[in-house]
Structure 1
Amino acid sequence: MARLKEDLQTELEIKKSRFLCYLHASTSEEDAKDFIQQIKKAHPNATHHCYAFVIGEQNEIQRSNDDGEPSGTAGVPMLDVLNKAGMQDIVAVVVRYFGGIKLGAGGLIRAYGKSVSNALSFAKKTTRMTMHKYQLTFSYDLIGKLDHYFRTHSIEVINKEYNEQVTYEYLCKTAIDMDISEMSNGMFLPVFIEDVYVDVDI
């Protein structure tokens, strides 16, 4: 599943109608509805304010609205694009300013779907990964060797403490006990703390 990293607004013109798509990261239905109202207030003279959102760990909350467009021609295709893109915790609002040319049902479905897919193509996204959090206490003479190892293996050290010995807390995808044991000649081993969820760019 992918999540929106930053809010985004894009615009398309299709047969003289303007389609403004707003994407917003949202983790609750209440927040999504608040955002929809904000967009409506920002565009009081628009012809339509259609929306779709998917929220929840299993995308269990899904809503869409055509806002006066023919039934099934706006909100549903927008929702379909979000689901096919594997998006989670996101609301999309498409504001339409009618340009005088009717698009027909098929044209509307394509226009609203394209508006969302176009916005997603520019969006910065993250995905949630499970990382393992460890604590490692070791002697000062190993700092250089361990810092180099963590850096070259892209392991994030999230906390460092310097007392009689050095204590690092770090996040990694796979256990590195054997490598640390080898570097310290079996003197030091990391202690598993917990699994944590981390959002990483995709």
Structure 2
Amino acid sequence: SATATATATPGVELLSNTGFDELNAENKPVTAPWTLGATNVGDKVKCNKAGKPEVALSGTCAFRFKGSVGEASSVTQPVSSITTISTGDTLTLSFFANAEAAPVAKAKLRVKYSDTTPKGKVNIDLTITTGYTPFSQSYTVVGDAIASVKVKFSNSSTAGKFYIDDVSLLLVEGAAATATPTSTAAPRLNTQG
């Protein structure tokens, strides 16, 4: 008999707690490894509750940003496994947002290099949505000397609230990373006459 196998999404997920669904021993939501900015007021993980409208797209929780006067809040996650990222690889930042009022908010991907390579930047402006709406943008890595990679959501809305769920930073190896050793070694052997 045939064995069923799961088909995985191509690529490697570089983030953790992507749906904000992790709970601690007291069954309270855990934000980590996401870190809140210094000025977050009312921004937190919210979970579905019986008898109330669901806040999560999938799982039971989502991250809620709440606008206020002077708002300059953020939630950030650094990528811990940067050694697996190299030139030609593609990093795709994707997430779902639910914003009934027009937010003044962005999702950002930053790739810092330790040499003179310019910083890699992806900026996605959030817009008003009807229910959860997907957002996505890709970045092609242009150097091997990677110092850091991080994903950040920032909010400067003066009112309203919006939710973020199912955040993903997918690493797909580029053509340079999949070259076989023999194809790169052959020209060197031919020059040793």
TM over 0.5: no
Greater RCO, CA 8 A, separation 6+? 2
* Structure number having the greater helix percentage: 1
Larger radius of gyration: 1
Normalised TM-score (structure 2): 0.28
